[in-house]
Amino acid sequence: MWALLVTATALTVGLAWKKRRARRVYVIDHVKIEIHPPCVVEDRVVEQVWRAAISMTNASRRPRPLPLFAERATVRAGRYVYLADVYLDADIQELNPRDVALAWVEFVLPGDLAADRVHAEILADERHRRALRWAPRSTSGVRGRAAVS
C-alpha cells in the first residue's frame, strides 16, 4: 500500500513539475515563440535600460497571424515590480512561412538592480490568455528560466 501511495504522489508531483517547468521555446498556433534573455542596452549613471527580445517564427506552410501581446509587461527586480513596454519591431499582422518577427520588452531599472523575472501576456482572446515569464540567464550572475502558463 505504501509503495502505491509513494508512486502516485511522485507521479503527481512529476506531472505538475513538468507542466510548470521552464522552457524558452513555445509553439502557439503554429507560431514558434523564442524567449531571449534580457540584456543592458544603455547604461546610464543611475539607471540601466534593459531589453528582452521575443522572436516569432511561422512554422507552418501558410501565412499565420502574429500573437497579440499586451501593451505592458511587468519586471520583478528583488522585491520591487517595475512596468515595461512591449512593442513589435515592424508593423505586421501576419507572418509568411518561415518569416521571423521580433517583439521587444524594454524596461528601466536602477543601476544596482538586475531583472529577476519578466512577465508579458499574449492575448489570443478573452478565454485564452497566456502569460510568458522568464528571467535572465546566469551569464550576468542571475539565475535564468522561462515559463508559460
Q: What is the pLDDT of residues 17-37, one digit of tens each?
A: 776 665 677 788 888 988 888
Angstrom distance (rounded) from CA 50 to CA 122: 20
If one counts the domains in the chain, the total is: 1
Q: Is residue 137 part of a domain?
A: yes
- DSSP letter, residue 8: H
Largest CA distance in the chain: 64
Q: Is residue 16 part of a domain?
A: no
- pTM of the predicted model as reported, rounded to 2 decimal places: 0.69
Q: Is residue 62 part of a domain?
A: yes
Q: Is residue 20 part of a domain?
A: no
Q: Is residue 8 part of a domain?
A: no
Q: Give the domain CATH number at 52.
A: 2.60.40
Judged by average pLDDT, the poorest of 91-100, 112-121, 137-146 is 137-146
Q: 139 is in which domain, residue-wise?
A: 27-148
Res 146 pLDDT > 50: no
Query: If DSSP codes are grouped into helix, strand and coil, which group holds residue 91?
Result: coil
Secondary structure (DSSP) of 19-71: HH---SEEEETTEEEEE---EEEEE-SSEEEEEEEEEEEE-SSS-EEPPPBPS
Q: Is residue 74 part of a domain?
A: yes
